[in-house]
């Protein structure tokens, strides 16, 4: 898996959201969790497009800056996706959470094998729903990205019509 550090990158449509489920570590409730996915992304460094950062499928995490129009669509899929303060990373970012108030950290959801967005089997991957966002354009988004499990999820996930 290629992990890129946190930076502001230009993301263009088509954008996708993936929705899975996570069991709350605090109260045991099963809640939906959402993540933003881009089919193609490129990265700007000091105003120049980085040729080595281009192309491929990217799963975005640790999002600290997100245009309202994209946030609204993600919140349609999961209203509990909100800007939250993480004690673990000591910063605010757009994270999933439980209706009891507990935060589901991106590291936990994305980087731990077998957890929601890092499926280890076809069964786990096909449990993830993919929605293409009904939006077109190009936006700067401050985030981290990786393209490892994303390819697998994109291949095996269940594609759904927009809600």
Given the rule CB under 5 A, which residues bind Zn ion? 24, 26-27, 29, 98, 100, 102
Cβ of residue 27: shortest distance to Zn ion, in angstroms?
3
Cβ of residue 95: shortest distance to Zn ion, in angstroms?
14
Cβ of residue 66: shortest distance to Zn ion, in angstroms?
24
Phi-psi region of 51 (alpha: psi -120 to 50; beta: other; left: phi over 0): alpha
* 3-state secondary structure at position 126: helix
By beta-carbon proximity to Zn ion, the closer residue of 66 and 103 is: 103
Cα 144–Cα 149–Cα 155 angle in degrees, nearest 5:
125
By beta-carbon proximity to Zn ion, the closer residue of 9 and 33 is: 33
Cβ of residue 109: shortest distance to Zn ion, in angstroms?
14
By beta-carbon proximity to Zn ion, the closer residue of 96 and 145 is: 96
Looking only at Cα atoms, what is the longest distance across the chain? 46
Cα 77 to its chain centre, rounded Å, is 12
Can you read off the two tokens belonging to residue 82? 């909100």
By beta-carbon proximity to Zn ion, the closer residue of 25 and 162 is: 25
């Amino acid at each position: 898996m290629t992990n890129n550090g946190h930076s502001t990158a230009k993301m263009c449509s088509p954008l996708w959201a993936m929705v899975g489920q996570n069991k709350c570590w605090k109260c045991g409730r099963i809640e939906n969790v959402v993540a933003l996915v881009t089919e193609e992304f490129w990265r700007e460094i000091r105003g120049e497009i980085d040729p080595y950062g281009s192309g491929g499928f990217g799963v975005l995490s640790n999002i600290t800056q997100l245009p309202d129009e994209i946030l609204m669509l993600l919140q349609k899929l999961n209203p509990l996706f909100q800007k939250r303060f993480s004690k673990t990373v000591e910063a605010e970012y757009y994270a999933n959470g439980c209706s009891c108030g507990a935060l589901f950290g991106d590291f936990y959801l994305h980087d731990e094998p077998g957890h929601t967005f890092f499926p280890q089997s076809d069964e786990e991957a096909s449990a993830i729903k993919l929605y293409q966002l009904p939006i077109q354009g190009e936006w700067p988004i401050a985030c981290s990205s990786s393209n490892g499990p994303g390819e697998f999820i994109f291949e095996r996930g269940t594609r759904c019509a927009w809600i």
